[in-house]
Amino acid sequence: MSDKMTVLVVEPLAKPYTKEIGTDYKAMQKEVGGTFQAVYPYEDMVALICHDEGKLIGLPPNRFLHDESGNAYDMICGTFLVVGLGEEDFVSLTPEQQEKFSNHFAKGWIVAIPKEPKTNHKGAKHHER
């Protein structure tokens, strides 16, 4: 069993790229910036490894996850990895998986623009809807 695996790294506002990392949890934590969770939104034998509190701690928006109809149902914040699934562990992506998910995540960047709340005529701040 190899102690390295080839994964796809997906950073906010950037094209995905392949990288060889260690197979242990510390290597994955380093890539996503902290503790992580695996999500399995596709029928393919892959998992997305993302920071488990990315939204809560304010990591930058990255990509939406879509249902079969193309509707966004969730958003991943911060850098995430696409990894292959073995019988018991995460494994290297196949070349076909690398190409498929690189193309899939090459678009769909999420750009968030901070905006100051407006002040009403009495000086109180309120948020636009």
Place of tokens 């390295």: 4
Identify whether 121 is part of a domain.
no
**79: containing domain:** 4-112
Identify whether 117 is part of a domain.
no
* Amino acid symbol at 62: N
What is the per-residue pLDDT for 54? 95
Identify whether 49 is part of a domain.
yes
What is the per-residue pLDDT for 51? 97
Q: Which residues have C-beta within 8 Å of that of residue 51, sequence separation ≥ 6?
A: 32, 33, 34, 35, 36, 37, 57, 59, 77, 78, 79, 80
* pTM for the structure as a whole: 0.84
Identify whether 128 is part of a domain.
no
Total count of domains within the chain: 1
For the chain, 129 residues long, the average pLDDT of each consecutive 10-residue run is 91 96 95 96 96 95 92 94 95 97 88 75 58
Place of tokens 């969730």: 74
